[in-house]
Amino acid sequence: MEENTSHTTGSSSPTITLKILALLSHVRWQNILVLALSQYLAVFFVLNDPKDWNKVLTDWVMHIIILCGMLAVAGGYLINNFYDREKDLINRPHRTLLEAYVNNDLIVRLYILINFLALVLSLLVSLRAFFYYVVFIVLLWFYSHKVKKKPLAGNLLASSLAIYPFFSVFIYYKLHNWNVLFYTLLIWMLLYTRELIKDLESHRGDLIAGYHTLPVLVGKLNAQIFLRWILLADVVFFLLFSVHVFGRLNVLIYYTLAVAGVIFGMFILSLKENINMYIALWHQIFRIIVFIGVFFLALEPNWHLV
């Protein structure tokens, strides 16, 4: 009897651990932490005077606004994985097999619970905040259920939803700094370009699963040509921002010029040879660029001068 009990306990523990790891993988906990961190950096260093950190830190409304965004995004990842499981088994089988430890019924229940909690918390802020997050949650579901399979529209909506939570703190603090919005546009362009690269990377799974992404619709070669000109547009906008804030945002300009240089290198490379071998690398580079861009919100001390 003792041996059986010991064996049962030992075998159930890894299962629970795997389920927790699977759930964390489902909700993309790293992305949610980066989202929260970027909002807090914006709140402390861009939307307020850093000297008033104590006052900002005790603002419970701000914390609830950010928490609601985190919950809604976690729910968005859950429902997205629910619809994408067939495709993900082809494109990323190892992670999908891990995530299979959380079954679809549990995913749906957690999705409802998380979104319900987000909406209840938003009511503590205001009725306007409640409707703001209702729209966000509906758009996340609509993207996963319908729009994701559409060429270009899926990329546009995905990149827009990625920055949607930022506007909650922008609205709360009544942002009037157009340069912050311009910088947000640059981050959106990076996210949009990354979505195009992801479609090229997941072309095989999208084709088999019946997703009408741009590479599936027009072919990988034509999609790469489209990506090439989007890369050039990124370079132009980053350079325009650099010129616009020259002499005022002296720290941030190092980031924007460096990003313009890296992306211009990608553009030149796309002119000379087939970029299939670089797609996975480029995807990771854009992830890193966006991540670094978040930290430059705090590193730039002169937001109040522009």
The pLDDT profile of the chain, 306 residues, written as one tens digit per residue, is 444 444 444 445 558 887 788 888 888 889 999 999 999 999 999 998 888 888 889 999 999 999 999 999 999 999 988 887 777 777 777 666 666 777 888 899 999 999 999 999 999 999 999 999 999 999 999 999 889 888 889 999 999 999 999 999 999 999 888 899 999 999 999 999 999 999 999 888 888 877 888 999 999 999 999 999 999 999 999 999 999 998 888 899 999 999 999 999 999 999 987 788 899 999 999 999 999 998 898 888 877 766
Longest CA pairwise span in the chain (Å): 77
pTM of the full structure? 0.88
29-45 vs 60-91: helix axis angle to the nearest 10?
A: 150
Can you tell me the distance from the alpha carbon of 92 to that of 89, in angstroms, rounded to the nearest whole number? 6
Q: Do 241 and 182 contact (CB within 8 A), yes or no? A: yes
**How buried is residue 156: exposed, middle or buried, by Cβ count under 10 Å (0-12/13-18/19+)?**
middle
- Return all residues near 18 (Cβ < 8 A) that are at least 6 apart: 98, 101
Can you tell me the distance from the alpha carbon of 89 to that of 54, in angstroms, rounded to the nearest whole number? 47
What does the pLDDT read at residue 14? 52
279-299 vs 178-201: helix axis angle to the nearest 10?
A: 160
Can you tell me the distance from the alpha carbon of 269 to that of 120, in angstroms, rounded to the nearest whole number? 50
- Return all residues near 256 (Cβ < 8 A) that are at least 6 apart: 186, 238, 239, 241, 242, 245
What does the pLDDT read at residue 306? 63
Q: Do 290 and 191 contact (CB within 8 A), yes or no? A: yes
Can you tell me the distance from the alpha carbon of 280 to that of 248, in angstroms, rounded to the nearest whole number? 36
